Amino acid sequence: MKPAPFTYVRPKSLAEALGCLDDDGDAKLLAGGQSLVPLLNMRLVRPTTLVDINALPGLATISPTPDGGLVIGALVRHTDLLASPLVRERTPLLAAAAAHVGHRAIRNRGTVGGSLAHADPAAELPAAAVALDATLTIVGPAARRTIPARDFFVGPLVTALEPREMLTEIEIPGPVQRGWGFAEMARRAGDFAIAGVAGIVTPAAPGRGRSSTARLVAFGAGDTPLRLPGAAALLAGQPIDRALARAAGDVAARECTPRDDVHATADYRRHLVGVLTEQVVLDCAARLGS
Amino acid sequence: MRSKPTRASSTDVADAVGLERDLRLVGQRVIRHDARDKVTAATAFAADWAMPGMLHGVVLRSLYPSARIKNIDATRAASMPGVAAIMTAKDVPRNTLWTDVPGQTTAVGSLRAKLHVLAEDRVRHQGEPVALVAAETEEQAREAAEAIAVEYELLPGVFDPAQALEPGAPRVHEEGNLLAHWRVCHGDVAAAFARAAVVIEGDYRTQFVDAAYLEPESGVAWIDSDGVITIRVSTQVIEHFRDVAEVLNVPQNRVRIIGTYLGGGFGGKEDVTVEVYLGLLAWKTGRPVKMVWSRQESLLARAKRHPFRLRYRTGALRTGQIVAQEIELLADAGGYAYLSALVLLYATVTAAGPYRVPAVSVDARVAYTNNVPTSAMRGFGAMQVVFGYESQMERVARALGLSPVEMRKINALSRGDTLPVGQVVDTHVALPELAERAWAALGELTPPRAPHVKIGRGLACNFQPYGRIVWLHDWSSAWVGFEMDGSLVVRSGVPDVGGGQASSLCQIAAEVLGVPLEQVSVYIADSALTPLAGTTTASRQLYMSGNAVLKASRELCEQLLKAAAAVLGVDRDAVGLADSAVRTADGRSLPLPELLHACSRMGVPRSHLGVYHAPAGEPVDLEKGAGKVFPDYTYGAHAAEVEVDTETGVVKVLKLVAVHDVGRAINPLSVEGQIQGGAVQGLGYALMEDVVVEKGINMTTSFASYLIPSAVDVPDVRAIVVESGEGLGPFGARGIGEPPIGPPAAAVANAIEDATGARLSVLPLTSERLARALGLM
Ligand SMILES: Cc1cc2nc3c(=O)[nH]c(=O)nc-3n(C[C@H](O)[C@H](O)[C@H](O)COP(=O)(O)OP(=O)(O)OC[C@H]3O[C@@H](n4cnc5c(N)ncnc54)[C@H](O)[C@@H]3O)c2cc1C
């Protein structure tokens, strides 16, 4: 099918884009179109105006921050994440996550901002953003605000974005997280995951008495990217071995909240979260060299 | 030099006069004209057609699987912009089509099945057509269809074939839910089980599957200047012009179907799709009308592959020899009969596999439900049973400590054996060789890449009938003729579904008549202008229409050579056709155009109509085992190597070898393409394809939910073509359209058991099912 009729605008500045959103309460932003266009074609959404943000300046850049982190513009494509030496060096977890998004044609068009704003509970980048403790910058008619990724995702396809707001960039804090892991299982190459896990283990800072900490985030296993605090707590301050990783997997399987759908039952997703958590924890540890 | 002693007339003639004439074109890896056209986007598929003043037609479909239609109000829709016509059942001249359901057991009796063009007072499945709209644009047509108010009263439905057969189940049709029942009784089954050293029982299930062709159902209809209702459509069966005529209540010679090159058929375009609706709307409006079903619509409502429940009890001696098979089959027909009774017949006849089994009983039923209808799909019943009998073969072999290849060798059919239905196998069965070659071609065992990964191998064989049931008295016709300049024209009603049907006919004609392939033009699939060739189904076209073209070409050749002999003043036996010229034994030659001009002067026709009649027979009583059911069978063996992740249950097929005895490969490129395509479709069936229907509601109406494998999900399929020369087709060819889809599911299931010890008996073999079987959850 084809979309219901709509007006198409292609603003040249952020202010103009926000103005378009202001003018029409039923407007929608168009970034890579990889999630929006299928919804339009199936007429699951019928916006009256489509605000194409691809011509907005300055949103497609990846810039280093002094603390070793990165600021990534909303229009950066998944392919750019994969191609960027900066991303690979400073946020290898994000590059690994992007590699699992769809197929090349989709990665060439799809954007970081679109992926986060779309907030599919099985998507990779939202989970990676939460695991990396990213901060999102949102601009609206009145002001600019920031929000931690962990508070941004509200439910399936629902975020903290207000109708007239736009996501402009995400910041991933430094220092570089070397203890990362990422694993997912999909029924078919390039499909959304049945379930997946992203993880970061931060080593104890030598001589400062802080023990190691972990952040584990499951996707495809709840209504949003799902933090696994119980599993992460188990790892805190402990040397990681197979038994501990397995124990963390068991806790993760218990604390996730997946649902049934045509592709898999909640039980199977739970099982996968357990197995994948174990694998991710071991990968984090191996990368830390512990 | 002669390569085979059985070559016929023209080649023999050439040999007789000493001209070196091996087959020039048959057996060559010829680039098909249609392949070139598709790659360069030159092919005009059905949906590519447009005409001035053309309307767009859409179908309004039932939302519910079982409901009474209390009222249809189209007044608002009719007044919407652009709307040219709205039709409901009462506007269809003959809305009810009756078909005879063949060959029932005494328990069922003969049945006439009913199909409504548009639903009348009730709907029997979700997606059943209820009304038609034609409008200036497709948008307008869809909007108007949405504005038609249909008042439904929900009725109880039945969604499981076993429940449908229970007393008191809601009746899908007044006659009751048992649609067809076939039985086979061969030998003393009880006594045979008593002799068995090992008895294995298995209960298997297969799923609903979609044809999922690239090209959805589509066509354009118009009333031509001669008043004939003309429909250019993507179909496997141009003979549906008769159905259109019946529905419109016009003479059959007032409807013409022009078949296009298809973007896939797989049986899904064997029944009527858009053509009747197009005919109705063009007839009603007098204007050209286009109809293209959306992917969602096609996935929602088009007939699927039958899900089967297969219950097997297999008895074997300690030597591995199978002595008894007791088989129960139950299939889901969905809301209407379509071809269910015949699909079940194929399953019944082939249920014991390509093996010599002295005692067999088969009890096979298919029931109506309020699920999406099921009908023909590549393999047509004979493929669903492969999962049953090949799983059983593997399990018996394991119980007795025999290798998969030994097990097949011990039991393989051979010429002279009798099938459980009483048909004597009268061609060569190369099964032992096929199994050996498939297994050997797997090569070195792949080492597991991690401790939790296991590698396993599985084998599965099959046999698939090609050609229609002998009592249908199948025939095909073709016209072959030269133009004055020596270029050749082939006319045949064959629809080309993408298997290279048209191209192979050109190769055969060019071979026999001694012209280069580039000199041949082929006209296909026009019910008014090409001689009827029958359906492109049942793996029959190369066999049937290939034989018709061969016959026409040979008879034309004979006709021309007689004239040539007269012109040159030599014996008939001293001339042959080669390189677009007549050649004589004494080294003279006469260019073809000169011969053709001479023919013209002498009144010798330059064309010939060939009609090929398949070996026919009378209906047999399957139960009594009376005789021949199918003309012949194509045999195959696939071997798979899989990798199983024992923590997640994820299965990856690392290798698949597919070996088939095709009798003779007319074009090895096409044959390998059929084998690889079929095997990949079989892997999709094995691992992921699944139309999920919950209480009659289809949950998989997009390619995000209905999964088919992409290029990265399957290994390179190694196709091995074996040529026994034993087929009934031209030059000894057998049909290869359907056979390769049969074995992969069983081969993969057997490989999974080899790797893990876990036996999966429900398709598709998902990682979740394996995780459960491995006790992981
Ligand atoms: C076949 C296929 C497979 C896919 N597989 C995967 C997969 O495996 N994993 C995965 O994660 N994704 C997958 N995707 C989706 C893909 O990743 C999309 O790129 C992503 O989800 C959306 O990004 P986009 O730029 O295309 O956004 P769009 O489709 O343009 O927009 C999506 C939504 O976000 C809103 N939006 C876009 N940009 C902004 C912004 N800057 N501020 C506020 N709102 C905004 C839009 O209004 C819209 O509602 C797949 C898509 C397809 C078609």
Closest Cα in chain A, distance from residue B648 (Å): 6
Q: CA-to-CA distance for B55 and B64, rounded, in angstroms?
A: 28
| pLDDT for res B713 | 95
Instruction: Looking at the structure, tell me whether residues B427 and B547 fall in a common domain.
Output: no
Tell me if B184 is assigned to some domain. no
Report the atom number in ligand 1 closest to the C-alpha of A126. Answer: 11
Query: To test ligand 1's pocket by mutation, which of A48, A115, A116 has the most ligand atoms within 8 angstroms of CB?
Result: A115
Q: Quick one: tokens of B204?
A: 């298997």
Residue B11 pLDDT > 50: no
Tell me if B552 is assigned to some domain. yes
CATH code of the domain in which B508 resides = 3.30.365.10
Tell me if B194 is assigned to some domain. no
What residue owns the CA closest to ligand 1's atom 38? A114
Between B702, B712, B768, which is nearest A265 by CB? B768
Residue of chain B with shortest Cα separation from A5: B139
Instruction: Looking at the structure, tell me whether residues B548 and B427 fall in a common domain.
Output: no
3-state secondary structure of A207: coil
Between A187, A190, A270, which is nearest B688 by CB? A187
* Ligand 1 geometric centre to CA of A105 (Å): 13
Q: CA-to-CA distance for B177 and B163, rounded, in angstroms?
A: 10
Annotate B702-711 with b (16+ C-beta within 10 A) or e (fewer).
Answer: eeebbbbbee
- Mean pLDDT throughout B633-638? 98
Tell me if B345 is assigned to some domain. yes
Q: Is the CB of A29 under 6 A from ligand 1?
A: yes
User: pLDDT grade, residue B6 (50/70/90)?
Assistant: very low
Task: Tell me the C-alpha to C-alpha distance, in Å, between residue A246 and each of A128, A218, A234, B405.
Answer: 22, 16, 11, 41
Domain that holds residue B345: 308-470+619-773
CATH code of the domain in which B79 resides = 3.90.1170.50
3-state secondary structure of A152: helix
CA nearest neighbour of B764 among B653, B658, B655: B653
Q: Quick one: tokens of B274?
A: 């858009």
* Ligand 1 geometric centre to CA of A119 (Å): 8
- Mean pLDDT throughout B439-460? 98
| Of residues B569 and B620, more confidently modeled | B569
Q: How many CB pairs under 8 A join A and B?
A: 46
Q: CA-to-CA distance for B115 and B124, rounded, in angstroms?
A: 11
Tell me if B32 is assigned to some domain. no
Q: Is the CB of A28 under 6 A from ligand 1?
A: yes
Q: Is the CB of A166 under 6 A from ligand 1?
A: yes
On the 0-12 / 13-18 / 19+ scale of CB atoms within 10 A, A82 is middle
Annotate A264-283 with b (16+ C-beta within 10 A) or e (fewer).
Answer: beeebbbbbbbbbbbbbbbb
Closest Cα in chain A, distance from residue B373 (Å): 20
- Mean pLDDT throughout A64-92? 97
Q: Which residues of A touch B296 (CB under 8 A)?
A: 1, 42
| pLDDT for res A210 | 59
Alpha helices in B238-317, H assignment, sequence order: 241-248, 275-285, 295-301
CA nearest neighbour of A56 among A94, A22, A29: A29
What residue owns the CA closest to ligand 1's atom 11? A123
pLDDT digits (tens, 9 = 90+) for B111-139: 788 899 999 999 999 999 999 999 999 99
Residue B20 pLDDT > 90: no
Q: Which residues of A touch B450 (CB under 8 A)?
A: none
Q: CA-to-CA distance for B556 and B562, rounded, in angstroms?
A: 10
Instruction: Looking at the structure, tell me whether residues B732 and B702 fall in a common domain.
Output: yes
Tell me if B195 is assigned to some domain. no
* Ligand 1 geometric centre to CA of A146 (Å): 21
Q: Which residues of A touch B712 (CB under 8 A)?
A: 189-190
Q: What is the 3-state secondary structure (H, E, C) of B750-762?
A: HHHHHHHCCCCCE
Look at chain A and count its residues. 290
* Ligand 1 geometric centre to CA of A130 (Å): 17
Is B522 touching A (CB cutoff 8 A)? no
Q: Is the CB of A36 under 6 A from ligand 1?
A: yes
First to last CA, chain A: 54
Instruction: Looking at the structure, tell me whether residues B105 and B230 fall in a common domain.
Output: yes
Note whether B710 contacts A189, CB cutoff 8 Å.
yes
Instruction: Looking at the structure, tell me whether residues B315 and B415 fall in a common domain.
Output: yes
Instruction: Looking at the structure, tell me whether residues B638 and B509 fall in a common domain.
Output: no
Q: Quick one: tokens of A118?
A: 């779309």
Is B139 touching A (CB cutoff 8 A)? yes
Cα dihedral sign, A81-A83-A86-A90: positive
Q: Quick one: tokens of B698?
A: 């289809």
Note whether A187 contacts B707, CB cutoff 8 Å.
yes
Q: CA-to-CA distance for B743 and B385, rounded, in angstroms?
A: 10
Q: Cβ distance A86 to A62 under 8 Å? A: yes
Instruction: Looking at the structure, tell me whether residues B433 and B510 fall in a common domain.
Output: no
* Ligand 1 geometric centre to CA of A106 (Å): 9
Q: Which residues of B touch A275 (CB under 8 A)?
A: 647-648
Closest Cα in chain A, distance from residue B331 (Å): 22
Task: Tell me the C-alpha to C-alpha distance, in Å, between residue A131 and each of A91, A124, A128, A179, A185.
Answer: 11, 11, 5, 12, 18
Q: CA-to-CA distance for B209 and B629, rounded, in angstroms?
A: 26
Q: Which residues of B touch A34 (CB under 8 A)?
A: none
Amino acid identity of residue B496, one-letter, is D
Q: Cβ distance A284 to A213 under 8 Å? A: no
Q: Is the CB of A164 under 6 A from ligand 1?
A: no
Q: CA-to-CA distance for B560 and B577, rounded, in angstroms?
A: 9
H or E segment to which residue A17 belongs: helix A14-23
DSSP B418: B
Q: Last residue of a domain, which of B554, B587, B613?
A: B613
Residue entry with tokens 């591995």: B320
pLDDT digits (tens, 9 = 90+) for B376-432: 999 999 999 999 999 999 999 999 999 999 999 999 999 999 999 999 999 999 999
Q: What is the 3-state secondary structure (H, E, C) of B642-691?
A: EEEECCCCCEEEEEEEEEEECCCCCCHHHHHHHHHHHHHHHHHHHHCCCC
Q: CA-to-CA distance for B54 and B70, rounded, in angstroms?
A: 33
Alpha helices in B259-370, H assignment, sequence order: 275-285, 295-301, 340-350
- Choose, out of B59, B208, B647, B689, the residue to mutate when testing the contact with A (most A CBs < 10 Å): B647
| Of residues B110 and B277, more confidently modeled | B277
Q: Cβ distance B660 to B721 under 8 Å? A: yes
Give the B window 619-648 contacts with A, CB below 8 Å: 647-648
Is B146 touching A (CB cutoff 8 A)? no
Instruction: Looking at the structure, tell me whether residues B501 and B608 fall in a common domain.
Output: yes
| pLDDT for res B479 | 98
Q: What is the mean pLDDT of chain A?
A: 95
Q: Last residue of a domain, which of B579, B613, B647?
A: B613
* Count of domains observed in chain B: 3
The vertex-A80 CA angle with A78 and A84, nearest 5°, equals: 130
Q: Which residues of A touch B702 (CB under 8 A)?
A: 42
pLDDT digits (tens, 9 = 90+) for B595-608: 999 999 999 999 99
Between B650, B710, B771, which is nearest A190 by CB? B710
Query: To test ligand 1's pocket by mutation, which of A34, A94, A157, A219 has the most ligand atoms within 8 angstroms of CB?
Result: A34
Between B647, B699, B709, which is nearest A262 by CB? B699
Report the atom number in ligand 1 closest to the C-alpha of A167. Answer: 42
Report the atom number in ligand 1 closest to the C-alpha of A165. Answer: 43
Note whether A187 contacts B712, CB cutoff 8 Å.
no
Instruction: Looking at the structure, tell me whether residues B606 and B630 fall in a common domain.
Output: no
Q: Which residues of B touch A42 (CB under 8 A)?
A: 296, 702
| pLDDT for res B13 | 30
Q: Is the CB of A72 under 6 A from ligand 1?
A: no
Least confident of A171-185, B19-33, B741-755: B19-33
Is B441 touching A (CB cutoff 8 A)? no
Tell me if B606 is assigned to some domain. yes
Closest Cα in chain B, distance from residue A147 (Å): 32
Q: Which residues of A touch B695 (CB under 8 A)?
A: none
- Mean pLDDT throughout B199-224? 98
Q: Cβ distance B379 to B537 under 8 Å? A: no
Give the B window 281-300 contacts with A, CB below 8 Å: 294, 296
Q: Last residue of a domain, which of B292, B323, B351?
A: B292
Between A1, A187, A275, which is nearest B647 by CB? A275
| pLDDT for res B2 | 35
| pLDDT for res A244 | 96
Q: CA-to-CA distance for B215 and B682, rounded, in angstroms?
A: 19
Q: What is the mean pLDDT of chain B?
A: 95
Instruction: Looking at the structure, tell me whether residues B692 and B603 fall in a common domain.
Output: no
Residue of chain B with shortest Cα separation from A2: B139
3-state secondary structure of B607: strand
Residue B697 pLDDT > 90: yes
Between B294, B650, B705, which is nearest A185 by CB? B650
Tell me if B251 is assigned to some domain. yes
List, edge to edge, every strand of the sheet that includes B229-233: B83-87, B129-135, B55-61, B289-292, B218-223, B229-233, B255-259
Taking phi first (over 0 means left), then psi (-120 to 50 degrees means alpha), and beta for anything else, what does residue B148 get?
A: beta
Q: Which residues of A touch B709 (CB under 8 A)?
A: 188
| pLDDT for res A205 | 73
Residue A209 pLDDT > 60: no
| pLDDT for res B3 | 38
Query: To test ligand 1's pocket by mutation, which of A118, A152, A192 has the most ligand atoms within 8 angstroms of CB?
Result: A118
pLDDT digits (tens, 9 = 90+) for B37-74: 999 999 999 999 999 999 999 999 999 999 999 999 99
Instruction: Looking at the structure, tell me whether residues B547 and B656 fall in a common domain.
Output: no
Q: CA-to-CA distance for B549 and B556, rounded, in angstroms?
A: 10
Instruction: Looking at the structure, tell me whether residues B576 and B499 fall in a common domain.
Output: yes
Residues from A in contact with B at Cβ < 8 Å:
1-2, 42, 185, 187-191, 262-265, 267-268, 270-272, 275
| pLDDT for res B680 | 98
Q: What value of ipTM does the predicted structure carry?
A: 0.95
- Mean pLDDT throughout B525-554? 97
Q: CA-to-CA distance for B708 and B688, rounded, in angstroms?
A: 7
Residue B32 pLDDT > 50: yes
| pLDDT for res A208 | 58
Between B139, B294, B771, which is nearest A268 by CB? B771
Annotate B193-226 with b (16+ C-beta within 10 A) or e (fewer).
Answer: beebeeebebebebbbbbbbbebbbbbbbbbeee
